[in-house]
């Protein structure tokens, strides 16, 4: 999106430049003195400043340094009153990126405006290219998530198990990988075990391996995922689904760092970092006898609870912007940002599928965006934002249920198990509901 600050004591000029900048799609701030400009810079994020040289409270050239002190990465273009080559040169030496001589044509002004704003977007993208490892992969500015980053750092200093909890799409796997990256910059691999999708009868041999003869098909020894992860990280996703019979085996692995292959008679020593994740309520599973309390306490040495996106208000637009740049680059599209109305809609939405939902939505919007700006109408066309069935008082319950299920399915890209989790029903129940009703997407 981008914000531009005009610092000039001539009201007419401020007014007409502000008008041009707004029309070009950037937000605009104005100041008539150096002091006012500094105040604005302290409370706003500004990308570009057009700075007059002859200000009532001092020389604009002398302001360059102090404005850059407030925001080091701001770009400054000088507005020189006369064709004064000398002050232009001095300004550039002080850190201005360009100058423009008054009086100027609007086309000339627009060209500079676009050139600088575009190059900032490109620089931002280049920055994103480097954010592919460790803590930098977690985009956030909310206090809750900054605290999570600190926890990741302290978790990486010790070897104790970590239990990550949070709704679907809140970034549990992302956090697990970040812990691994911070702790093991080189060597040691990250092995993910999805306890939710592995068949219960296969999970033991997948996890712990087997020895020749352990069962009919075991014709040779086979290493399990635990052994493959030796020296690295074992990420147990959806730990709540681990069969009770294997929970004691896992407990032993955590407590004594040893395990036995299926059919094995000797202990194998292992050194792995255990990270478990769940979006189910383990307390309830323990009460119902589906999860061992002692394993829970052993896993929960370092608990990391990820807040849902709707409780991270500061992160919504930041993440939206991040995904926008990422997908615009991936699909080679020029998209400047979200319109103000679209941003407001993003903030209002409840995000049941959390960051994954936001990511998928931005991806679709980028693909279908024609104007260079993602607008509210674009969002309204998106099924996630339409329906609003729950606000209607003239619909039968069955219809509301149907619409809501559609909405959730769309939000999670039609992933049935995630949708079932969000809806708080089993996958079987969801499947039944989908069979009974005619769903537009399924
Ligand atoms: N803070 C963040 N910054 C950038 N990307 C994020 C962030 N949080 C989540 N994501 C992205 O959102 C998507 C969902 O995250 P992830 O798979 O880690 O969620 P999860 O909690 O494991 O979900 P589930 O419970 O459904 O398995 C991924 O593409 C991930 O990269
Ligand atoms: Mg996950």
Query: Above pLDDT 90, what percent of the chain?
Result: 45
Ligand 1 binding pocket includes 78 (Cβ within 6 Å): no
pLDDT score, position 132: 61
| Residue spans per domain, the chain | 3-129, 134-305, 312-436
CB 297 within 8 A of CB 284: no
- Identify the residue with better confidence: 290 or 398: 290
Nearest ligand to residue 418 Cα: 1
C-alpha of residue 119 to centroid of ligand 1, in Å: 29
Residue 334 has pLDDT above 60, yes or no: yes
Residue 361 has pLDDT above 70, yes or no: yes
Choosing from 169, 240, 363 the residue with most ligand 1 atoms within 8 A of its CB, the one to mutate for a pocket test is 169
Quote the pTM value.
0.64
Q: In what order do the strands lie in the sheet with 233-237?
A: 190-194, 233-237, 273-278, 162-165, 302-305
Ligand 1 binding pocket includes 170 (Cβ within 6 Å): yes
pLDDT score, position 329: 86
Residue 185 has pLDDT above 80, yes or no: no
Average confidence score pLDDT of the chain: 86
- Identify the residue with better confidence: 123 or 59: 59
Residue 252 has pLDDT above 60, yes or no: yes
C-alpha of residue 401 to centroid of ligand 2, in Å: 26
Helices and strands (H and E) in the chain: how many: 19, 16
| Beta strand spans in 81-215 (E) | 98-101, 162-165, 190-194
CB 96 within 8 A of CB 49: no
Look up the CATH number of domain 312-436: 1.10.8.60
Is CATH 3.40.309.10 the classification given to domain 3-129? Answer: no
pLDDT score, position 377: 63
Mean pLDDT is highest, among 26-35, 99-108, 140-149, 430-439, for: 26-35
Ligand 1 binding pocket includes 161 (Cβ within 6 Å): no
Give the model confidence (pLDDT) of 316-328 as tens digits: 988 998 999 889 8
Is CATH 3.40.50.300 the classification given to domain 134-305? Answer: yes
Residue 2 — very low, low, confident or very high, per pLDDT cuts 50/70/90? confident
CB 346 within 8 A of CB 307: no
pLDDT score, position 125: 60
Residue owning tokens 């615009």: 328
pLDDT score, position 175: 96
Residue 85 has pLDDT above 80, yes or no: no
Choosing from 171, 193, 359 the residue with most ligand 1 atoms within 8 A of its CB, the one to mutate for a pocket test is 171
Which of these ranges, 46-50, 83-87, 142-146, has the smallest mean pLDDT? 83-87
Ligand 1 binding pocket includes 325 (Cβ within 6 Å): no
Topology alike, domains 3-129 and 312-436? no
- Taking residues 181-194, report their average pLDDT: 83
C-alpha of residue 392 to centroid of ligand 2, in Å: 33
Give the model confidence (pLDDT) of 46-84 as tens digits: 999 999 998 999 899 999 999 998 988 899 999 987 667
């Amino acid at each position: 999106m981008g914000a531009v600050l005009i610092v000039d004591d001539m009201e007419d000029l401020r007014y007409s430049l502000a008008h041009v900048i707004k029309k070009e799609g950037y937000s605009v701030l104005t100041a008539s003195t150096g002091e006012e400009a500094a105040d604005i810079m302290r409370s706003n994020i500004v990308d570009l400043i057009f700075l007059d040289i002859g200000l009532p409270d001092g020389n604009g050239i002398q302001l360059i340094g102090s404005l850059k002190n407030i925001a080091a990465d701001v770009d400054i273009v000088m507005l020189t009153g006369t064709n004064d080559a000398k002050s232009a040169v001095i300004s550039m030496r002080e850190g201005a990126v360009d100058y423009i001589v008054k009086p100027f044509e609007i086309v000339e002004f627009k060209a500079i405006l676009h050139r600088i704003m575009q190059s900032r977007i490109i620089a931002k993208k280049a920055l994103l290219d480097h954010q592919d490892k460790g803590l930098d992969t977690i985009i956030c500015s909310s206090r809750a998530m900054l605290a999570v980053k600190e926890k990741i750092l302290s978790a990486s200093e010790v070897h104790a198990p970590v239990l990550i909890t949070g709704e679907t799409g809140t970034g549990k796997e992302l956090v697990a990988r970040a812990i691994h990256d911070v702790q093991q910059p080189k060597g040691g691999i990250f092995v993910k075990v999805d306890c939710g999708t592995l068949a219960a009868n296969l999970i033991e041999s997948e996890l712990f391996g087997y020895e020749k003869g352990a069962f009919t098909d075991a014709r040779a020894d086979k290493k399990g995922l635990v052994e493959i992860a030796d020296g690295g990280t074992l990420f147990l996703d959806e730990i709540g689904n681990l069969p009770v019979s294997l929970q004691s085996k896992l407990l032993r692995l955590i407590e004594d760092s040893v395990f036995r292959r299926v059919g094995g008679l000797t202990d194998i020593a292992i050194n792995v970092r255990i990270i478990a994740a769940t979006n189910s309520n383990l307390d309830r599973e323990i009460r119902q006898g589906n999860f061992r309390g002692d394993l829970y306490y052993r896993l929960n040495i370092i608990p990391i609870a990820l807040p849902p996106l709707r409780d991270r208000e500061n992160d919504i637009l930041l993440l939206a912007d991040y995904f926008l740049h990422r997908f615009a680059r991936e699909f080679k599209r020029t998209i400047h940002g979200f319109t103000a109305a679209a941003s407001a809609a993003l903030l209002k939405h409840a995000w049941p599928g959390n960051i994954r939902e936001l990511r998928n939505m931005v991806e679709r919007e980028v693909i279908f965006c024609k104007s260079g700006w993602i607008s509210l109408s674009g969002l309204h066309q998106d099924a996630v934002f339409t329906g609003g069935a729950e606000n209607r008082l003239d619909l039968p319950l069955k219809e509301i249920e149907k619409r809501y299920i559609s909405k959730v399915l769309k939000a999670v890209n039609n992933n049935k198990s995630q949708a079932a989790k969000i809806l708080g029903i089993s996958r079987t129940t969801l499947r039944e509901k989908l069979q009974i009703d005619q769903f537009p997407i399924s």
